[in-house]
Amino acid sequence: MFELILQTSVNALVASSFTALVAVGLVLIFGVMGIVNFAHGELYMAGAFAVWHLHSVLAWPFLLSLAVAILIVAAIGAVMERLLFRPMRSNPLGGLIMSVGTLFILQVVALEFGGGTGRAKHVTPPWRGVVEVFGIDGVTVPIQRLAVIGISVVLLGGLWLFLHRTKAGWALRACAQDPEAAALQGISIDRFSLLAMVLGAGLAGAAGAAMSPLLPVEPSMGHAVIVTAFIVIIVGGIGSIEGAVLASVIYTFFDTFVTTFVDGTIASILGLLIMMLVLVIKPTGLMGVQEKV
Amino acid sequence: MGIALRPWIAAILLAAGLASVPFLVKPYQLDIAIFLLINLLVVVSYRLVTITGEWSLAHVVMMGVGAYTSALLAKRAGLDFWLSMPLAALFTAAFAFVLSFPLFRMKSFYFLIGSFAAGEAIRLTWIRFYVPFGGPKGLTLIPPPQLSLPWLQDPINLGRPVNFYFLALIIVGLSLLILWRIERSRIGLTLQAIHWRDILAESVGVNTWRYRTLALVVASFFAAVSGALLGHYVGAVTPTRFGLHIMLYVLVWVIVGGTRTFYGPILGVVTLSIIDEFIREFEQYRPLIYGLILILTVRFLPQGLESLVLKALAGLRSRNSQVSQPVAGE
């Protein structure tokens, strides 16, 4: 029993690290542009497809495939911002609808890219073998999963340093806090919206790319992720990056434990009910800020 | 007198045209026509929610609640379609009333996400609980509607496509008529007022919460009617039929058509269904084409197809009266 609990905790840690990548990207985009990016799950899916093509089909090294996949998805994000979100600057609902359109398009593109059949792809795991955790026999974690944690920590740490230690990061946070005031300080909203979208999409792509050897890669794989990400950003407080990370850890631990000890669908239902509860009782979430009147 | 007769003549011509459809089209097209009728009710009832200014993502799930309830009443309690359908609609309306308490504590984006969470939780409940919902495979062998007439020995099987077309035509027609009357009534005007200026409406004594709830309950009632029609026609209901991607299709129909007028969503769903028919051989590209149409509409025709009609009507009117009038929608 003790081993099972430890093992589940390790699994939860893996899940929370990639969930955090997706959710932080979603929060970043919402913070700066006020747009709920419904296509965020599809960006995650695009990252996984890119790795599948580069690593499994073209036989590039995994880490190089990962890096290029992140760049590709970030580029998709840049195109979305430039062509779709920028004309909708004053209309958040319009931006949301644009992202729904993108979601449809990306799913078909992925389907075609994968050969036209809906059959799931498999990415050959670059690392095999397991590591024993705490030196206990029953508790092991595959190196592939450890890599997901590593990639997430590096990327989120890098993002934190960027946001808090550089001038551009400081300006990006200013845009998220109050776009109008930021614009009055001479910060270009256009440039920082583009930056937010590139970073947000890149993070989603990174999550998909890192998880691709662990999951069947298919056009619909974004759905489960976007639902989880919505729960996380609501519980964490929309617009708060720290809240999104904290909520990712709390929620995925809850979800993984309920999935292991009860069942997965019940876990999802409870997660959605918790989200409803947060929306009713404290819409600002764990660490969100009060909306301005 | 001639002028007073004109709408009637138009209505009779429309009715005659719709009634002759089953005899003019190929069998598979009749199938499409029946689904189109069902979808008409879905989008028009959905618009009732959107005119209060809130975009729900639970509407298709409400349709599912109606479909599941009617199917269960027919299968388990052995009720006739004529009883199970209205009971399912009433149940769904009551269910929406209960849901409105948490949902209407949220606004705009939070309402959108909250309604999505509520809908998804309901859908997962159907997937998780095999008894009575049948799990991921859903419910099958739902009996088709029957019509017993005193002078006939055997009841008429309304499950046959031609018969079902007329059944759907009558039920959807009546429902649309009721929804149209609601729109034209004081309630409809108040809902519009809430959309444009909810704080102002409140300050002149309108209980906005009550009107929003009313809109949600009535819309869910008619969503359930369309769901029950769907279930009894197909003979099966599954959780995937009421998933997020179907809701997104409804969103596309409504946005492409426009939500300012009663006929906007109708225009949207009819136009896109016609496009569907043209791209039938490229079924897998359908989401791509829908996505492009959606993006182009929002970008270049933000008020939807209805704005074209409004402009054309305004143009006609100004030509007739020789006085230039302001173009509606500007």
Averaged pLDDT in 10-residue chunks for chain A of 293 residues = 84 92 93 90 96 93 95 97 90 88 94 82 84 72 88 95 93 84 86 94 96 92 91 86 92 94 93 92 70 44
What is the pLDDT at residue B324? 47
- What residues in A contact B120, CB-CB < 8 Å? 227, 268, 272
CB-neighbour burial class of residue A135 (10 A; exposed 0-12, middle 13-18, buried 19+):
exposed
What is the pLDDT at residue B239? 95
Distance CA A52, CA A223 (A): 19
What is the pLDDT at residue A290? 53
Q: What residue type is A105 in one-letter code?
A: I
B206-218, pLDDT tens digit by residue? 788 888 899 999 9
- Regarding an ipTM greater than 0.85, the answer is yes
User: Do A108 and B255 count as a contact with CB atoms less than 8 A apart?
Assistant: no
What is the pLDDT at residue B114? 92
Any CB–CB contact under 8 A between A284 and chain B? no
Q: How far is CA B35 from the centre of its chain?
A: 11
Q: At B134, is the pLDDT very low, low, confident or very high (cuts 50, 70, 90)?
A: very high
Residue in B with minimal Cα distance to A110: B288
Closest partner residue to B124 (CB to CB) among A238, A268, A280 is A268
User: Do B120 and A280 count as a contact with CB atoms less than 8 A apart?
Assistant: no
What is the pLDDT at residue B3? 59
Q: CB of B302 within 8 A of CB of A123?
A: no
Minimum mean pLDDT range among A246-250, B50-54, B65-69: B50-54
Distance CA B109, CA B112 (A): 5
What is the pLDDT at residue A292? 44
Closest partner residue to A276 (CB to CB) among B114, B124, B284 is B114
- Please state, rounded to an integer, the average pLDDT across all residues of chain B: 89
CB-neighbour burial class of residue B284 (10 A; exposed 0-12, middle 13-18, buried 19+):
middle
Distance CA A22, CA A3 (A): 29
What is the pLDDT at residue B321? 66
Tell me the CA distances in angstroms from A10 to A25, A127, A228, B187, one per residue in order: 24, 18, 19, 56
